[in-house]
Amino acid sequence: MKLLEWQSKFIQSKSKASGSEACKITGLLFRQVRKEIDKARKEVEKLEREASRAAVFAANSAGRLDEFITVFANARNENSRGFYLGNDKLATSEESKDCFGGKDISIECLVDTFERASEQKPNLDTKIEGIKHQSLKDSFRGGSSAGCNLIKENAGGILVNTELGKSLW
């Protein structure tokens, strides 16, 4: 109910009732108002949680877009053509997946990340650490992702004139 409706009911009860009957009606009205306030408070808490999830999703999406621009959009192979990972053509989604430890890097993955965030609070520090440069250390040390040639440690790598021997962040 709206505040004006509660106010008019309260005034009507004051004019009609006397003594203990007025107290009963007033008490009933206050309990109903209290229930409405509690319901509104719960809704605000729910909206706060949803806003937090939306902020995490937006930050994650912005970070992935920044990574895409930094690495993939600026990637060049030896003859400065705009390809990454592939020999003479753009790498396929499956080839890209192999370079990220089997993790999908598609739009569906963003949606999946958002769904997981809605189920539990993400540990943002761990997530941030996971996307830092050290997650690519296998590429430099001959691990399972060594053949991906995503980035190299010198200025002659696929990110032209960019030194990536240290953390990007």
Domain boundaries, the chain: 74-169
Q: Closest by alpha carbon to 160, among 57, 65, 76?
A: 76
Q: Is the pLDDT of residue 55 over 80?
A: yes
pLDDT of residue 106: 56
pLDDT tens-digit series, residues 70-105: 665 555 555 555 455 555 555 566 666 655 555 555
Three-state SS for the chain is: CCHHHHHHHHHHHHHHCCCHHHHHHHHHHHHHHHHHHHHHHHHHHHHHHHHHHHHHHHHHHHHHHHHHHHHHHCECCCCCCCCCCCCCCCCCHHHHHHHCCCCCCCHHHHHHHHHHHHHCCCCHHHHHHHHCHHHHHHHHHCCCCHHHCCCCCCCCCCECCCCCCCCCC
52: pLDDT strictly greater than 50: yes
Q: What is the pLDDT of residue 141?
A: 53
In the chain, % of residues over pLDDT 90: 3
Q: Are 132 and 138 in contact (CB under 8 A)?
A: no
Evaluate if residue 58 carries a pLDDT over 60: yes
Higher-pLDDT residue of 23, 82:
23
Between CA 84 and CA 105 the distance in angstroms is 15
pLDDT computed for residue 149 by the predictor = 46
pLDDT tens digits, residue range 67-79? 666 665 555 555 5
Task: Please give the model's pTM, rounded to 2 decimal places.
Answer: 0.33
Angle formed by the axes of helices 3-16 and 20-67, to 10°? 170
